[in-house]
Structure 1
């Protein structure tokens, strides 16, 4: 009677171990990414637009944003701003337990050869692609051309006059 139990115990042990796959440091597990604060200022030209967002990584494994696509543009690329110049960036790191911020004056998405110019109040769909994580589709609201999000970096002291 003991023989039938042994294969069941071995099988249960194998199933339990199979659920524990991956390395101890979590590098085999896909990062836990989410996107926040996405928006596109209403484009001021017929052919170009910019997009801003924050990718949050809640895992112990880093990832990289490698590309983006959208049905409103022939080309969407990740750009970096350095001084007064803008250039296409390579993959951008999303650190473990950290975030990647795409913002005005810094790294951002550049939508080129727009198929139509989105207006304030519309929503633009963008698919972000990563090295490890499955693609994430983001619904990006179109804001006014002069929209400025509130952030921790913003400070009202710069507009105060000192007497």
Structure 2
């Protein structure tokens, strides 16, 4: 009888360990936003930049951005010095989506007001899987570029 009890205990332990390895929480996107900023706009358009870091085991996609600053906010990629609107950007599992000067970015058209340096612009990032993330973009000087600081 002791062998059967011990064997049953080992089977239960092994099953529990196997199920623990299948946990879905490791497979979810785990998103964090850093380095957000907006250069002070000089006209009725503006750009936003930030990094979305994904520490999760599943990729996600940034699908849209909304803001009270503009009813026309889009995401753009830059390739070969040409800018074009896209429907989404991948946020790879264990990786980052970099929206940076000279590259992919958020575009604000037909601004409702022109934010000044020192103010903050509220945005909300929308993803395919993860919940929306609210971010405040500090408005920096027009020529601000963190890579050149």
The alignment status of 1:108 with 2:105, answered yes or no, reads yes
SS across alignment from 1:119 = coil
Unaligned 5+ residue runs, structure 2?
1-15
Q: Which runs of 5+ in 1 are unaligned?
A: 1-16, 157-163
Specify whether residues 80 and 25 from structure 1 end up closer, same or farther in structure 2 by C-alpha distance, changes over 3 A only: farther
SS of 1:114's equivalent in the other structure is coil
Partner of 2:31: 33
Shift of the 83–27 alpha-carbon distance from structure 1 to 2, 3 Å rule, reads farther
SS at match of 2:71: strand
Indicate conservation of the 8 Å contact 2:123/2:137, yes or no: yes
Cα displacement (A) at 1:73: 0.7
1:144 aligns with 2:105: no
The structure-2 alpha-carbon separation of the partners of 1:132 and 1:121, relative to structure 1 and needing over 3 Å to count, comes to same
- Number of aligned residues: 132
* TM-score normalised by length of structure 2: 0.81
**C-alpha distance in 2, partners of 1:144/1:77?**
22
**Quick one: which of 41, 44, 56 aligns to 1:43?**
41
| TM-score normalised to structure 1 length | 0.74
The match for 1:83 is: 80
Equivalent position of 1:10 in the other structure: none
Aligned to 2:51: 54
1:130 and 2:131 matched: no
**Aligned with residue 99 of structure 1, among 96, 101, 106:** 96
